[in-house]
Amino acid sequence: MLLCKWELSEVGGNLLQLALNALQISSRTTQRAPLSETVEREPNLLHYLFPAGVDEQTIIDILTRRSCDQRREITFEYERIAKKDLTTALKGALSGSLEALILGLMRSTAQFDAAELNASIKGLGTDEETLIEILCSRSNKELVEIKKVYKDMFKKELEKDVAGDTSGDFAKLLLALTKRDEPSNVIDYQKIDEDARSLYEAGVRRKGTDVATWITIFSQRSVPHLQRVFERYKSYSPYDMKESIRKEVKGDLEKSFLTLVECFENKQLYFANRLSEAMKSKGAKEKVLTRIIVSRCEVDLMKIRTEFKRQHKRSLYQTIAEHTKGDYQKALLSLCGGDD
């Protein structure tokens, strides 16, 4: 099995290295080169693997240093030759936070997001933190893909599941975000001032908040448009948009609007701050760490690293090393990619 120690009685050396040589990929490289068809050059390698004890470091080296497409090819070849499901094998071999991280890597980014959303709303209680982070930080294009994958995976509509587990204005905002149109970078210069004034008049200027107006503007305008709206908003309100949100709404609705503003302004800084918050205490919020690192490792993790260092005056790599331990730490550091 891929997840067990590699031994071959008739051939000296480490069979894992032979396999990686066949793939033309170094065991130490972080470069995600195409696998092409080289995996088929040693079609019987996996038959020499047997469960002599789990080699977590080998699993980490193979799966955290490959792209999603490469992991998909590795999975295909493993299952073709070993006649076993790799994900099931990994579940049996690993446990805890390392298991959650590695299994997350075996999915595409959209599949991982869909699974996280489903886990946040199934069963007793709702994980609002996960709902807010994913639905308020993903682009229109990403949300379209997540909805499609969610239906394929769970045979249900994401919107219906969200509606069934949330309520009030919080539910209305999340549903509006899931129903956004195709991605657009259009800036309607004629509406910038109008939108800024509408946000002010629906909030700070009046008694009570016209949340429906806020939801409409936040969910139906492009990011570059809203960036200009928030800047213009300052000419009407004595508070900036985030201060206004804190004064006008509370609870999950407040967190959602704040997340949207932070992502509209600088999404990578938002994730850098989320990672910092997850590692402020003695231990680490491993679920948050796993979700962000896995979901962003092939999207914008390098930019998040840069923002983390700029904002918190230390590297993400060093912070992870201080607040995690064991094989889970090794996997996170491998995905992080290096110190800054």
> pLDDT (tens digit, 0 to 9) for every residue of the chain, 340 residues total?
333 333 322 222 233 344 444 455 444 444 444 444 434 433 333 333 334 556 788 889 889 999 999 889 888 888 887 788 889 988 988 999 999 999 999 999 999 999 999 999 987 788 999 999 999 999 999 999 999 999 999 999 999 999 999 999 999 999 999 998 655 789 999 999 999 999 999 999 998 899 999 999 999 999 999 999 999 999 999 999 999 999 999 999 999 999 999 999 999 999 999 999 999 977 779 999 999 999 999 999 999 999 999 999 999 999 999 999 999 999 999 999 988 8
Alpha-carbon span 218 to 83, nearest angstrom? 49
Alpha-carbon gap, residue 43 to 234, rounded angstroms: 64
User: What is the structure's pLDDT at 237?
Assistant: 97
Tokens (6 digits) for 328: 């889970």
Q: Which among 48, 44, 22 is positioned nearest to 35, based on CA atoms?
A: 22
Say which residues have a Cβ less than 8 Å from residue 165's Cβ, sequence separation at least 6.
121, 126
Q: Which residue type does 285 have?
A: K
In the block, which residue shows the tokens 């796993």?
290
**Could you tell me if 301 and 337 are in contact, meaning their C-beta atoms sit under 8 angstroms apart?**
yes
* Residue 141 CA, distance from chain mean position: 15
Give me the pLDDT at residue 82, please. 76
- In this structure, are residues 183 and 140 in contact, taking their beta carbons and an 8 Å threshold? yes
Whole-number Å distance between alpha carbons of 294 and 304: 13
Q: Which pLDDT score is estimated for 74?
A: 84
Q: Which one-letter amino acid corresponds to residue 300?
A: D
Under 8 Å between Cβ of 124 and 82: no
In angstroms, the CA 255 to CA 140 distance is 20
- pLDDT, residue 183, reads 57
Q: How many Cβ atoms from other residues are within 10 Å of residue 95's Cβ?
A: 10
| Cβ-defined contacts of 32-36 (< 8 Å, 24+) | 32/65, 32/66, 32/67, 32/70, 34/69, 34/70, 35/69, 35/70, 35/73, 35/74
Which of 59, 51, 38 has its CA nearest to residue 82?
A: 51
Per-residue burial over 62-78, b if 16 or more Cβ lie within 10 Å, else e, is bbbbbebebbebbbebb
Instruction: Please name the residue that has the structure tokens 């038959």.
Output: 47
Measured at the CA of 299, the angle between CA 32 and CA 90, to 5 degrees, comes to: 60
Distance, CA of 28 to CA of 182 (rounded, Å): 40
Q: Using an 8 Å Cβ cutoff, are 70 and 32 in contact? A: yes
* Nearby residues of 118 by Cβ (< 8 Å), 6 or more positions away: 150, 153, 154, 161
Q: Residue for token digits 């994900």?
A: 87
Counting every residue written for the chain, the total comes to: 340
CA proximity to 279, closest of 249, 321, 242: 321
- Going from the N-terminus, what domains does the chain have, and what CATH number goes with each? 110-174 (1.10.220.10), 189-265 (1.10.220.10), 267-323 (1.10.220.10)
